[in-house]
Amino acid sequence: MGSTPRGPRPTLTRNARPATFTVDAHDETGALVPTPIAGEHPLTLYVDKREIVTLMTLGAAPEALAIGFLRNQRLVGSIDEIAAVQVDWDVNAVAVTTHHGLADLEARTKKRTATTGCGQGTVFGDLMADIESIHLDEAMRVDEETLFGLLNAVRVHESIYKQAGAVHGCALALGSEILTFVEDVGRHNAVDAIAGWMWLEGVDGRDKIFYTTGRLTSEMVIKAAQMGIPVLVSRSGLTKMGHEVAQQVGLTMIGRAVNRHYLLFTGAHRLVKSGERAHA
């Protein structure tokens, strides 16, 4: 939906926060251990001066996060609606300005679904609304060796997690090549930031793989599907509703993926053994 921008890019700040901070801790031997920990900052999102929500974020990509949140919550239909995104950490706020205002904003922000995850997520509107309008690319294929290559690329990628833990990482990939990699204290923020990046860069999801360290819950699957991405890979497990939604939208869901191991749950036709015919 609206993935190729037709107008000028929005005016953006580029206001990332430091990713880690060091605090003192004592370990079990009594030794003083300076420990890097992940940053976490409140960021209140305003659209045309109207307060929408406050997100708690690592702050690595706040502009993309704001755009992606609006995209994935279906409050904005295309990047062309957005005139400016301005982050100001002095007031912990990001102000999004649209060209023509958002129709029905009040009604659309009314129904609050707190979705799965470490926090209680919020997906405005009906979680499953419009799901039947999602069509993922059926012809897209991923070679198994390409999958392993991507898992390795993720493994070696420099990351905050390796230093400080307490963050989730998501990557958008074309084959085994990582196009963008975002970490946040909230996995859903990382997904949203990638959705925002895709809109800003005019990147379509149809031939991409989405990797996450986080669990494949219903919200994760719905977001990936809304982003047009047919293949979703996680190092972790999945939930029953995530599985059901993946089946319903025809998404390829691969869990417990690490090194050369994985479990393929749905959409088996897209994963191809190198040199052999497709699974199932």
Nearest to its own copies of 16, 83 (CB atom): 16
Nearer to its own copies, 230 or 255 (CB): 255
Measured from the CB atom, the residue of 71 and 168 that comes closer to its own copies is: 168
Please state, in angstroms and as integers, the Cα–Cα distance from residue 148 to each residue in 109, 214, 261, following that order.
40, 18, 8
Question: How would you class 232 by CB atoms within 10 Å of its CB: exposed for 0-12, middle for 13-18, buried for 19 or more?
Answer: buried
**Which CB atom, from 5 or from 149, has the smaller least distance to its own copies?**
149
Q: DSSP character for 18?
A: P
Indicate left, alpha or beta for 127 from its phi (over 0: left) and psi (-120 to 50: alpha).
Answer: alpha
| Least distance between its own copies and beta carbon 128 (Å) | 9
Q: Judged by CB, which is closer to its own copies: 208, or 235?
A: 235
Give the pair of three-digit tokens for residue 147: 């999958």
Which of residues 3 and 247 has its CB atom nearest to its own copies in the complex? 247
Closer to its own copies at the Cβ: 100 or 261?
A: 261
182, exposed or middle or buried, with CB in 10 Å at 0-12, 13-18, 19+? buried
Tokens (6 digits) for 43: 């960021």
We find the least distance from the C-beta atom of residue 47 to its own copies, in angstroms, to be: 13
Least Å distance, CB 209 to its own copies, is 16
Q: How far is the CB of 21 from its own copies (least distance, A)?
A: 5
Give the angle 184-103-5 at the CA atoms, nearest 5°. Answer: 60
Within 13 Å of residue 180, how many CA atoms lie on the same side as its CB? 20
Structure tokens at 228: 């047009």
Residue 142 tokens read as: 């991923």
SS3 192: helix
Residue with tokens 């009594």, as numbered in its chain: 30
Q: Which helix (H) or strand (E) holds 146?
A: helix 144-156
**Least Å distance between CB 8 and its own copies?**
30
The least CB distance from residue 270 to its own copies, in Å, is 13
In the complex, minimum distance from the CB of residue 268 to its own copies, in angstroms, rounded to a whole number: 7
